[in-house]
Amino acid sequence: MRVVSLVPSLTEAVAVSAPGLLVGVTDWCTHPADLGGAARIGGTKNPDVREIVRLRPDLVIANEEENRAPDLAALRAAGVEVLVTEVRDLPQALRELDRVLVGALGLERPQWLDRAEAAWAAVEPAGTFTAFVPIWRRPWMVLGRDTFAGDLLARLGVRNVYAGHPERYPRVPVEELAASGCDLVVLPDEPYAFTAQDGPEAFPGLRAALVSGRHLTWYGPSLVEAPAVLAESLSGSWGADGR
Q: Where are the domains of the chain?
A: 3-109, 125-238
Q: In the predicted model, what is the mean pLDDT of the chain?
A: 94
**102-115 pLDDT, tens digit each:** 999 999 999 999 99
Strand runs labelled E in the chain: 3-5, 22-25, 39-40, 59-63, 82-85, 129-132, 134-136, 141-142, 158-160, 184-188, 207-211
Residues forming a β-bridge with 85:
63
Residues forming a β-bridge with 121:
none
Judge whether residue 238 has pLDDT over 80: no
| Band (237; pLDDT cuts 50, 70, 90) | low
**136-180 pLDDT, tens digit each:** 999 999 999 999 999 999 999 999 999 999 999 999 999 999 999
- DSSP β-ladder status, 134-136 and 141-142: antiparallel
Q: What is the pLDDT of residue 240?
A: 37
| Band (128; pLDDT cuts 50, 70, 90) | confident
Q: Yes or no: say if 7 and 66 are a contact pair by the CB < 8 Å rule.
A: yes
Domain 3-109: which CATH class? Answer: alpha beta
Q: What is the pLDDT of residue 236?
A: 76
Q: Is 125-238 the same fold as 3-109? A: yes
What is the spatial distance between Cα 44 and Cα 66, in angstroms, rounded to a whole number? 6
Q: What is the pLDDT of residue 243?
A: 42
Nearest to 44 by CA among 23, 15, 69: 69
- Of 3.90.1150.10, 3.40.50.1980, 3.10.20.600, 3.30.565.10, the CATH number of 125-238 is 3.40.50.1980
Other beta carbons within 10 Å of 7: 27
Torsions phi, psi for 67 (to 5 deg): -115, 150
Task: Give the count of alpha carbons within 13 A of 223, CB side only.
Answer: 34
Q: What is the pLDDT of residue 125?
A: 86
Q: What is the pLDDT of residue 235?
A: 84
Torsions phi, psi for 164 (to 5 deg): -95, 5
Judge whether residue 242 has pLDDT over 60: no
Judge whether residue 25 has pLDDT over 90: yes
Question: What pTM value is reported for the model?
Answer: 0.92
**34-65 pLDDT, tens digit each:** 897 899 999 999 999 999 999 999 999 999 99
Task: Give the count of alpha carbons within 13 A of 152, CB side only.
Answer: 35
Can you tell me whether residue 184 is helix, strand or coil? strand
